[in-house]
Amino acid sequence: MEERLPGQETRPLRPRYDGGEPGYPLLALSRHRMELDGEGVTTLVAGAGCPLACAYCINKTVLCQAPTLVSAAELYEKTRIDDLYFQASGGGLCFGGGESLLHLDFYEALRPLCPGWRFTAETCLNVPPETVARAAAIFDAFIIDVKTLDPAIYRAYTGREQGPLLENLRFLSEQFNPARLHLRVPLIPDYNDEADQTKTEAALREMGFIHIERFPYVVRGE
């Protein structure tokens, strides 16, 4: 039986706001991000919840910080100040955290409030396949944190098996516009090496992915 750490989630979360509408566990907003989270000017929306327990988690607050639950209307009010920038640049909202795909009920409520905004999901894809199929109808683009396709390295670094990641990669490679998929393959100190990066990149290109970013992961101090 797979062990799951406190705060880890694998199934979609369904927090409810007053009146029963979907809520979003908001951790932080970061405005005026240029070409960092997809096309145009974006606001990064960080939410709580993650299925992984990465050794060098870049945002450990997703497992321990109490989020603020907001409704779709409230998040729209917090972000609509940049509507002109979003519309002019082809940008919009990028959802990260945390695992963005845990909050699909919320995005379905938010999407009609934001015409012309680009919705991007930062995701590890280690979620059920039905979640990704549903997300593909909501989001315009995905930024995918692949990490590695070596199963032993992936398990050692994340604490989980990579089966769902592989299944969801295959689905997106077949069903989603490859130009709107950006995959990240980091060089992770003490876990993988450049040879593993090269092997992972080659496997991803064989699957049909075209936008693959290799970079050294910077380990931040505690």
Output the pLDDT for position 18. 57
Residue 178 lies in a domain: yes
What pLDDT score does 219 carry?
82
For residue 13, the model assigns a pLDDT of: 54
pLDDT at 4: 39
> How many angstroms separate the CA atoms of 204 and 83, rounded?
35
Run means of pLDDT, 10 residues per run, the chain, 222 residues = 41 58 92 85 94 86 79 97 96 93 96 97 97 97 98 97 97 96 96 98 97 90 56
Q: Give the pLDDT score at 16.
A: 59
In a domain, 193, yes or no: yes
How many structural domains does the chain have? 1
Computed from CA positions of residues 69, 22, 133, 180, in that sequence, does the dihedral angle turn out positive or negative? negative
Residue 10 is assigned to a structural domain of this protein? no
CATH of the domain at 190: 3.20.20.70
What is the rounded CA–CA span in Å between residue 71 and residue 106?
8
In-domain check, residue 104: yes
Domain that residue 107 falls in? 18-216
pTM for this one?
0.90
In a domain, 5, yes or no: no
In a domain, 204, yes or no: yes
Burial class (CB in 10 A: 0-12, 13-18, 19+), 181: buried
Q: What pLDDT does 179 receive? A: 94
Q: Return the pLDDT at 17.
A: 56
With respect to residue 141, please indicate whether it lies within any of the assigned structural domains. Answer: yes
Whether 134 is covered by a domain: the verdict is yes
Alpha-carbon torsion 148, 151, 154, 157, what sign? negative
Cα–Cα distance, 17 to 100 (Å, whole number): 18
Question: Residue 7's pLDDT is what?
Answer: 43
Q: Residue 24 is encoded by which pair of tokens?
A: 């979003």
